[in-house]
A and B are shown apart, each in its own frame.
Chain A
Amino acid sequence: MKKRQQIITRRAALTTGVAALGALLIPGCKQPMPPNYGNILRMGDNFTYAAHRALLSKKSLAKEYNFSDISSMPATGTINPADTSKEYFSESYDKHLRTGFENWQLPVEGLVARPGNYSLNQLKRFSPRTQITRHTCEEGWTAIAEWTGVPLRMVLEHAGIMPKARWVNFYSYDGWLDSIDLIDAFHPQTILAYGMNGKNLSIPHGAPVRLRLERQIGFKSMKYLEKIVVSEEYIDPGDIGWAWYNGF
């Protein structure tokens, strides 16, 4: 049998090319990728994530609107975690609701030097940010509202986020776990919102505190926040059948 020695096979060239492209897309490879579960759709999502991070400015701000642009806005998904008829019913949320969120506290844990619980009043003592932005739902509808809250960056810095940190994970009263990378977490428009259109955030829109993440699709702005955990490893909720990155 004749064995031909090839220095560069087509396959090697292809895999090297793809790897080089990947390296190009994630400068320094500091930001790890969420898992793709061997699912071609999740691979596409991750490609979009890498491409957006490589090609789009990390600091650009989402468009902000005028007060007169504020529109009607449906509340969808969970509209009350204290609804006993629902699977996601939360006893602790029910308790907080009955006491007007007086004893509600947001734990900030994980890779922070000073883990702690932040009450609503403590969050309101940080200098607030108010922004009038467009909520873009994956379903295809949009709405403009004014959101007031504390930039997530301030809370993370107050808690002493560690250099090893790569992900900020959010847990909600209606049972969700979701995460964002540090580029989004430190973005000036990423806020923990407690006010909407000049009033306290209402229950259907995520009381007492929700996330606002203006450069991603609406459902990434998680409602009914229960806990924040900073981590180095990706905390894996499993393949939930939806993209993790939703800048599109």
Chain B
Amino acid sequence: MNTSSEQNSIKAKHKPWVKTSHWIITLSFLILVFTGVEILMVHPRLYWGEVGNDLTPAFLELPISRNYQWSDWEESIPFFDVQDSPISAGRLGEERLFNQNGWGRSLHFLAAWFLVLTGLFYLIIGLFSGHFQKYIWPKLKELTPTQFFRDLKDHFRLKISPPTGGPHYGLLQKLSYMGIIFIGLPMAIITGFTMSPAITAAYPFLLDIFGGYQSARTIHFFSSLSLEVFLIVHVLMIILSGFKAQLRYMTLGK
């Protein structure tokens, strides 16, 4: 059944540009997660819309630092002489506040530069070399419910195929790679841009498409969370299919 071109693609090894971008993006991503958690710990509240702060309601509060439900405030003062006026309040106990954003933010953005520039490099080569069409984009004939559910069942039974040594992927594998390449990572990056006052001044439509700064921040958090779930499953699959061999194929090994 195998045509000769498919046999060739089975033999194909990971290309050096794939390996290089894979590991630069991996390292950048790990740093982004680490610093991202640090940044979230400084204000562990999530909101929707443009505005969100300790004096407005949050839809999610995360008990991940001592800044959780900060209660040390001066008496609040209304801005206007009307009922339900927005208020102002001075924060007290500033010296007890958790805040490592000085290095946290700068490291986050440094890693983001590596991720964005390497990601662009990867997307351009992937698109123009035919890599995406050949290996990542599922073929029409394999995109059937039968095949999808068979692959899903195999995964749940932990029946994972041994490594092919190259970019010859199963259906679920292709779909999840597409998910992070074309949805997950771009979403994390664009919502990150939307949190930049300089970028949204130049491109205000970003605030409109996400419904405001805080919505973008919330989507940033959940897209990051989905990328972390991907990472865990990805590493699990690598372990189940032969960790040492997989690592060798993705690095120097043939």
A interface residues, Cβ below 8 angstroms from B: 40-42, 44-45, 47-48, 52, 56-57, 60-63, 65, 69-77, 79-80, 134, 136-145, 196-199, 202, 204-205, 214-217, 240-243, 247-248
Contact = CB atoms under 8 A, between A and B. Distances in A.
A141 B54 CA distance: 8
Nearest to A197: B79
B201 A61 contact: yes
Contacts of B223: none
A70 B87 CA distance: 10
B207 interface: yes
Given A44-B110, A139-B43, 6 more contacts: A138-B101, A142-B51, A144-B51, A205-B88, A242-B105, A248-B105
Given A139-B43, A142-B50, A73 B106 contact: no
Interface residues of B, number: 48
23 contacts: A45-B109, A56-B202, A63-B204, A65-B50, A69-B50, A70-B86, A72-B88, A74-B54, A76-B90, A79-B74, A79-B90, A79-B92, A134-B197, A134-B213, A139-B99, A139-B101, A140-B40, A140-B43, A141-B43, A144-B50, A196-B79, A199-B79, A214-B197
A21 to B, nearest CB: 11
B94 A77 contact: yes
Interface in B52-103: 52-56, 73-74, 77, 79-80, 86-92, 94, 99, 101-103
Interface string B99-125: 101110111011001000000000000
A161 to B, nearest CB: 23
A24 to B, nearest CB: 15
A145 B94 CA distance: 23
The 10 A-B residue pairs whose C-beta atoms are closest, nearest first, are A247-B198, A44-B110, A140-B43, A72-B55, A141-B53, A79-B90, A41-B106, A241-B102, A204-B90, A56-B202
